[in-house]
Amino acid sequence: MSVARSFAHVCDALESRTTLNRLEARGTVRLALKEAGLDPSSVTARQMGVVVERILPGQLQSRGVGDPDSICRDLAISLASLPSDEASETPESVFGRLGESSR
Amino acid sequence: MQWISLLGVGIQAIASLVVGLRLASIARRTRRFPELALSLATLLGTVVGYPLGLLAIALERAGMPGVAPVFFIAASVMMTGVSMNYFFTWRVFRRGAPFAVVLCGLGVWLLFAPIGAVAVHVGLYGIDRGIQSSSVWVALAVGAVLGGYAWTAFESFRYYLTSRRQLRLGLIQASVSNRFLLWSLASACFLAIVITAGVVVRLGSNPLQSAGFSLAVGGLGLVNSTCNVLCFLPPQWYLDWLGRPRAAAGA
């Protein structure tokens, strides 16, 4: 299954900045996304930014990663510079359109 | 009791017409497939197909010709509407999943394959006896309809549960999360109608001429209409209510 650019970006950054290996980094991010109700294949940079700020620090701390807040802060900043990937058609975007401007 | 079914069917037809036209206008503006599929699913089943089915019965009762062709058109229109449901669920909820392509293809094939055979039986024996004598074909079509609505209800409800987690993080609007639930409920109503139709057929009656089925269609039609309107034409008070913290938590 292909993964979203923001997912790959965060996994690569975690792999390089922490002691987590590739499998551990991807598993950690997948768990964080699952907790947020998001899919690795369609998560956008904006959504990933929220996950990185609100959920990932706790996940990293539980895996013994040092200074998770600082790592996640840097990750959130780097995510903001990623090109927009909002164009993908997700169920959320479809159902968002279906009820819009009905008043 | 008859007036409840007539009221339910009437309200459902009007609600489906309004919602279907609304979705068609969104589809015209966005040029996106999901909107088009939903508008066709809404309009073809309840607004066009079901009344055509009733017309076929009326023709038969009046002893007029054209029962089988009208029945064939009614069934084709209704099945086209249900097939749009399959396409919508595949494209929106399971776009990249190979099993969804197979399920969608199989479902659509099973929807259309039996129509000709059933119509021939209806032409030979009339609507009631024709449906009974082609029970295998009818069972296949009913199974496909059942599968379509069950799949839609399941996928939408699954997304509703997922969206509740997104809602807690502010990643989705409460109204959008609620829309998954409403669409799941609306599909579940059709599912219940089809199950009732299946039971009626098993009991040896024509669903379109059964009082019990008409009552079920009426009641479920009212629920379906309410869900459709709140989903696609939500009034401001409903959106305001969803926007409140307690409502959003349970949206």
What are the residue ranges spanned by the domains of chain B? 2-249
Kindly list the domain boundaries of chain A, sorted by start residue.
Answer: 5-98
**Is the Cβ pair A92, B176 closer than 8 Å?**
yes
Residue among A92, A93, A97, A101 with most chain B CBs within 10 A, to mutate:
A92
Cα(B169)–Cα(B167) distance, integer angstroms: 5
Using pLDDT thresholds of 50, 70 and 90, give the confidence band for residue A102: very low
Q: Are B12 and B216 in contact (CB under 8 A)?
A: no
- ipTM of the complex, rounded to two decimals: 0.83
Stretch B88-109: mean pLDDT, rounded?
93
Tell me A83's DSSP state. Answer: P
Of B215, B221, B210, the C-alpha closest to B4 is B215
Topology of domain B2-249, CATH: Rhopdopsin 7-helix transmembrane proteins (1.20.1070)
Count of beta carbons in the 10 Å neighbourhood of residue B183: 26
A99-103, B91-95, B123-127, B172-176: which range is least confident on average?
A99-103
Does residue B106 register a pLDDT over 90? yes
Stretch B175-186: mean pLDDT, rounded?
95
Q: How many CA atoms lie within 13 Å of B166's alpha carbon, on the beta-carbon side? A: 26
Question: Tell me, what's the pLDDT at A86?
Answer: 60
Question: Tell me, what's the pLDDT at B132?
Answer: 81
3-state secondary structure of B172: coil
**Is the Cβ pair A91, B232 closer than 8 Å?**
no
Does residue B136 register a pLDDT over 80? yes
> Residues A71-75: contacts with CB within 8 Å, 24+ apart?
A71/A14, A71/A17, A71/A18, A74/A13, A74/A17, A75/A10, A75/A13, A75/A14
Question: Tell me, what's the pLDDT at A90?
Answer: 86
> Residues B205-208: contacts with CB within 8 Å, 24+ apart?
B205/B128, B206/B57, B206/B127, B206/B128, B206/B131, B208/B53, B208/B54, B208/B57, B208/B127
**Is the Cβ pair A36, B183 closer than 8 Å?**
no
Question: Tell me, what's the pLDDT at B248?
Answer: 57
Q: Which of residues 23-42 of A touch B (CB under 8 A)?
A: 35-38, 41
Using pLDDT thresholds of 50, 70 and 90, give the confidence band for residue A101: low
Does residue B146 register a pLDDT over 60? yes
- Alpha-carbon distance values, B131 to A30, B5, B181, B199, B216 (Å): 51, 23, 35, 14, 20
- B209 or A96, which is more confident? A96
Q: Measured between beta carbons, which residues in chain B are less than 8 angstroms from residue A102?
A: 22, 232-234
Question: Tell me, what's the pLDDT at B243?
Answer: 84
Of B51, B52, B113, B122, the C-alpha closest to B83 is B113
Does residue B8 register a pLDDT over 50? yes
The identity of residue A41, as a single letter, is S
**Is the Cβ pair A98, B93 closer than 8 Å?**
no
User: How much of chain B exceeds pLDDT 70, in percent?
Assistant: 93
Cβ of B35 under 8 Å from any chain A Cβ? yes
Using pLDDT thresholds of 50, 70 and 90, give the confidence band for residue A87: low
Stretch B145-170: mean pLDDT, rounded?
94
Does residue A1 register a pLDDT over 80? no
**Is the Cβ pair A50, B171 closer than 8 Å?**
yes
Using pLDDT thresholds of 50, 70 and 90, give the confidence band for residue A103: very low
Does residue B251 register a pLDDT over 70? no
Using pLDDT thresholds of 50, 70 and 90, give the confidence band for residue B7: confident
Question: Tell me, what's the pLDDT at B62?
Answer: 87
Q: Cite the DSSP H helix spans in A18-86.
A: 22-36, 45-54, 56-62, 68-80
Cβ of A98 under 8 Å from any chain B Cβ? yes
Give DSSP secondary structure letters for B108-133: HHHHHHHHHHHHHHHHHH-HHHHHHH
Does residue B66 register a pLDDT over 60? yes
Q: Measured between beta carbons, which residues in chain A are less than 8 angstroms from residue B95?
A: 89
For B134, list phi and psi in degrees, rounded to 5.
-115, 40
Of B156, B195, B206, B200, the C-alpha closest to B178 is B156
Q: Measured between beta carbons, which residues in chain B are less than 8 angstroms from residue A37?
A: 162-166, 171
Does residue B102 register a pLDDT over 60? yes
Question: Tell me, what's the pLDDT at B212?
Answer: 75
Cα(A83)–Cα(A76) distance, integer angstroms: 14
Q: Computed over its alpha carbons, how large is the radius of gyration of chain B?
A: 19
